[in-house]
């Protein structure tokens, strides 16, 4: 099987137009083989405009998400990640639930050596809530940069 055939076997959303899933549970999150699986390294995704809904008021909540992971055999397919994160726009959940659920779903799919997610939420009710979750242990030989998101002081 060629590399292209192998890749197409693992993805269904890349290269076409896609609907946004009605909920995160319905969203398809995909993985692709890691061509550098024998080399420990960090991959980072930053989502500066993450949106979900307050489960009580229905008002929008906004966050910057930062996801760092040390892949094993699999990489998250970035378009599917974007569509998965977008599926939260009409989903009601507390900040903690959104952040941890995203981290757990990615870790379950990829089985990485290490994964961390930082959810840097803008204030709700005058209080910013930042949520952090991690899976696994950082390999000794890996450089893991700081997320460098400042504490809330009227971000912007």
And the tokens for 143? 């450089």
Among 54, 68, 98, 146, the active-site one is 54
In a domain, 27, yes or no: yes
CB 64 within 8 A of CB 9: no
Segments of the chain scoring below 70 in pLDDT = 1-16, 153-156
Among 61, 98, 130, 146, the active-site one is 61
The per-residue pLDDT of the chain, averaged, comes to 90
CATH number at residue 79: 3.30.1130.10
In a domain, 155, yes or no: no
In a domain, 145, yes or no: no
pTM: 0.88
How many separate domains does the chain show?
1
CB 55 within 8 A of CB 23: no
CB-facing half-sphere around the CA of 46: CA atoms within 13 A:
5
Give pLDDT, residue 20. Answer: 87
47 is catalytic: no
In a domain, 51, yes or no: yes
In a domain, 150, yes or no: no
CB 119 within 8 A of CB 95: yes
**Could you read off the pLDDT of 8-39 as tens digits, one per residue?**
556 665 566 778 889 999 999 999 999 999 99
Give pLDDT, residue 151. Answer: 79
In a domain, 97, yes or no: yes
In a domain, 66, yes or no: yes
In a domain, 70, yes or no: yes
User: What range defines the domain where residue 18 resides?
Assistant: 3-136
């Amino acid at each position: 099987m060629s590399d292209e055939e192998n890749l197409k076997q693992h993805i269904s959303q890349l290269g076409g137009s896609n609907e946004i899933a009605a909920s995160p549970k319905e969203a398809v999150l995909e993985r692709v083989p890691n061509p550098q699986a024998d080399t420990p390294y960090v991959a980072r995704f930053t989502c500066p405009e993450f949106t979900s809904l307050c489960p009580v008021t229905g008002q929008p909540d906004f966050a910057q998400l930062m996801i760092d992971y040390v892949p094993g055999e699999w990489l998250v397919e970035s378009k599917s990640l974007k569509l998965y994160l977008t599926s939260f726009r009409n989903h009601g959940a507390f900040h903690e639930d959104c952040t941890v659920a995203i981290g757990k779903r990615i870790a379950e799919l990829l089985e990485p050596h290490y994964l961390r997610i930082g959810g840097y939420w803008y204030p709700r009710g005058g209080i910013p809530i930042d949520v952090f979750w991690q899976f696994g242990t950082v390999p000794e030989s890996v450089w893991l940069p700081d997320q460098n998101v400042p504490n809330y002081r009227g971000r912007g």
